[in-house]
Amino acid sequence: MATYQEIVQKISELQKQAEEIKAREQSAVIADIREKIEQYGLTAEDLGFGAKVPAGKKAANRKVPVRYRDNAGNTWTGRGKRPGWLTQALAQGKSVEDFLIR
């Protein structure tokens, strides 16, 4: 019966052997995949490797409706820094609600 140390050594040898075989097979697999990609004109997106858009980014690309408008046609969605036209109007005593689109 084999000892623990003999089994550990055999495992180590088999792992080395497996890594060598994997490396040899891997180069052939890569060459085959590249050939198929070229043959069929596949793209990274076709293979599911396209740029991943985080869930939060999808929402950021959505158009936000305009919530505020003045008589000159200037608009603001209500997000981000207040535009100059609104800041000036507020300084002249108007309120944000005066420009709210209802």
Domain-by-domain residue ranges, the chain?
A: 1-49, 61-99
pLDDT at 57: 59
The pTM of the whole model exceeds 0.85: no
Determine the 3-state secondary structure of 76 from DSSP.
strand
- pLDDT value of residue 43: 86
Three-class DSSP category at 59: helix
pLDDT in tens, the chain (102 residues): 889 999 999 999 999 999 999 998 998 999 999 999 999 888 888 888 876 666 655 655 678 899 999 999 999 999 989 999 999 999 999 999 999 988
Q: Which residues pair with 74 in a beta bridge?
A: none
Measuring CA to CA, which residue among 59, 60, 79, 71 is closest to residue 99? 71
Is residue 100 within 8 A of residue 65, CB to CB? The reply is no
